[in-house]
Amino acid sequence: MADNTEKDPKDWVSGSDPMTGAQESYLKTLAEQAQESPPEDDLTKAEASELIDKMRQKAGLEH
């Protein structure tokens, strides 16, 4: 059975808004843990959310 409690970030109403300060800060922390460079581009909320998921996986953190 599919889990309908999570929407794809691309489907968020505010997904095209600029990423939040919290997302930016968390991405920097995750980048350090994953031994990656933090993103240099300004991301949307949806892009930041997707990158957070990828970085969490790379850093070995639960999804």
3 state SS for the chain: CCCCCCCCHHHCCCCCCECCHHHHHHHHHHHHHCCCCCCCCCCEHHHHHHHHHHHHHHCCCCC
Q: Percentage of the chain with pLDDT > 90?
A: 35
CB contact set of 54 (below 8 Å; sequence gap of 6+): none
Asked, for residue 57, whether it belongs to a domain, the answer is yes
What is the count of structural domains for the chain? 1
Host domain of residue 48 = 20-29+43-62
The pLDDT-based confidence of 36 (bands split at 50, 70, 90) is: confident
- Is the model more confident about 35 or about 25? 25
Asked, for residue 55, whether it belongs to a domain, the answer is yes
Find the mean pLDDT for residues 49-53.
91
CB contact set of 49 (below 8 Å; sequence gap of 6+): 9, 15, 23
Asked, for residue 11, whether it belongs to a domain, the answer is no
Instruction: Check whether 3 has a pLDDT greater than 70.
Output: no
Asked, for residue 6, whether it belongs to a domain, the answer is no
Q: Which pLDDT belongs to residue 23? A: 93
